Amino acid sequence: MPKTTISCSDTGYFSKLMCDYLAEKDTLASFYGNFPMLENFQKQITEKKNSFSAQSRAVLVQALHKQYATTDASEATLANIESLSNSNTFTVTTGHQLNLFTGPLYFLYKIFSVINLSEELKEKHPESHFVPVYWMATEDHDFDEINYFNLFGKKIAWNRESGGAVGELSTEGLSEVLKQFEAALGASNNAKKMTALFSEAYTKHTNLTEATRYLGNQLFSEYGLVIVDGNDALLKKAFVPFAKKELLEQLSHRIITETTTRLTALGYPEQVHPREINLFYLAEGIRERIIKKDGMYYVNDTDLSFTEAEILSKLDANPECFSPNALLRPLYQEVILPNLCYTGGGGELAYWFQLKDYFEAVEVPFPILLLRNSVLLLPTLLSEKLEKLEVSIDDLFLKQPDLRTKYTRQLSGIKIDFSEQKEFLKKQFEALHELAKKTDASFIGAVEAQEKKQINGLSNLEKRLLKAQKRNLAAALDRLTAIQDELFPKQSLQERTVNFSEYYLEYGDVLLQELKKELRPLDPNFTILSL
């Protein structure tokens, strides 16, 4: 499949923070560790190897074996789990919510980013081993963010009551969603494969965690992907010292607030607001913030309360009842994994930039931060239409009004640009300004007003001519914007809206094979992949 790239900054879809990061702006250097370049991983390997104990590895392997007990994992995945006992094995991690049927396309791009980076690191460092990890956001409680996916422009949703950690939600009711999915896909061989995959994942597993693990395992197990569920008592026991520090000292709030203040002073937004205690209390149907007031610990919106001694006792006895929020989850991940690099989208990496000073304070190595691959899938039919219209794919990244204006200028047999006339006028008025200065300075204001009036008049004429030409060329402009609407649904990136099943329906396993082949995780550019 032909591939081209465009810089992320030129797409207009990436934040200033991410564009400045990719450009390695000096002002951001203190907010991250090693920059994501192949030559920087040796230093990261050394840092992590020196800080990650054999005991931590043993706990991780034990927990993963338990999590995979009922999963038909591939030999590659099982071998990767076993390899984590070795001091020369490291992980490359991405995380994702438990979106119904993977959610938007970028789920695939995240996973292939860590798979391909692991392989690239193995070539560079053959003495070590690298395991691609997908961290499931099983403890998330934002059900409305994950209970649907988009298919052919329509929303297929799972409507039910929710509460607590989404990973523990029963899959009851998803058989009704399966019926909608099956009806939308049709009866082709690829449609049957997708329907069977959905059915097996969501109607034959009891909760959303198990369903999502099955789905990820089916799609990526041949590449040795290891799927981690952080909502695990054994893993959380390893995090107890850090959770205890959070409850007693509220260190994260102070340090992250200071870092965030420095970041916002540079003009970047605060991605996540730090709480005084960045932990939730987790129980059946409940995931609520822990609040400290007058020496007591309260669980928000419940009747639960603890003295200091009681909550510390609860933490030691039942660590699974404590859940890190968005700002503490990265620390939890780095404590229990021999991780070198976190791969995520711009919004995810933005809150990691708030955390480096805190990681240093608790003496945990800060991982390399890698912006995941971003991709536009360009079907051949649409590519051919663009060629006939003589429009570059890069132009489709323009906002639609700007795209229509540019194409109108391109198609018009007349020049719709009065820049030369405006420059001519400005030169004429320069002479009038000099004349006014030499004769009567009171005329300077009148000359300036007349100049502004004449320039505005030309601008209005230009706009009227452009508007008239747009009417004349309406059919061609509509053809172009229809293509843009298809590739950029609701003027958003395709990867943030469309589910992979739309493209699997057409291309089958070739879609996954080509993504695996073409994505280059350390290439900072946006990828356009022709199908």
pLDDT per residue over 346-355, tens digit each? 999 999 999 9
In this predicted structure, what is the pLDDT of residue 35? 98
How many angstroms separate the Cα of 316 from the Cα of each of 59, 239, 289, 313?
Answer: 16, 10, 19, 5
Q: Letter for the amino acid at 406? A: K
Query: Could you say which residues of the chain have pLDDT below 70?
Result: 1, 413-432, 434-436, 438, 440-443, 447, 451, 454-455, 457-459, 461-462, 465-466, 468, 470
pLDDT of residue 420: 62
- pLDDT at position 462: 62
Q: 397 with 79: CB under 8 angstroms?
A: no
pLDDT at 499: 97
Residue spans of the domains in the chain: they are 3-43+73-82+90-229+338-374+512-530, 392-494
What pLDDT score was predicted for residue 410? Answer: 87
pLDDT at 444: 72
Question: Where does 412-508 have alpha helices with state H?
Answer: 419-439, 444-472, 474-487, 501-507
Q: Please, which residues bridge with residue 344 across strands?
A: 371
- ∠365-368-372 over CA atoms, to 5°? 145
The pLDDT of residue 422 is 60
Residue partners of 408: CB distance under 8 A and separation at least 6: 416, 466, 469, 470, 473, 477
User: What pLDDT, on the 0 to 100 scale, is given for residue 163?
Assistant: 85
For residue 377, the cross-strand partners are 529
Locus of tokens 């945990």: 364
Alpha helices (H) in 29-158, listed in sequence order:
41-51, 54-67, 75-83, 106-124
Q: What is the pLDDT of residue 431?
A: 67
Q: Give pTM, 2 decimals.
A: 0.91
Would you state the pLDDT for residue 409?
Answer: 83
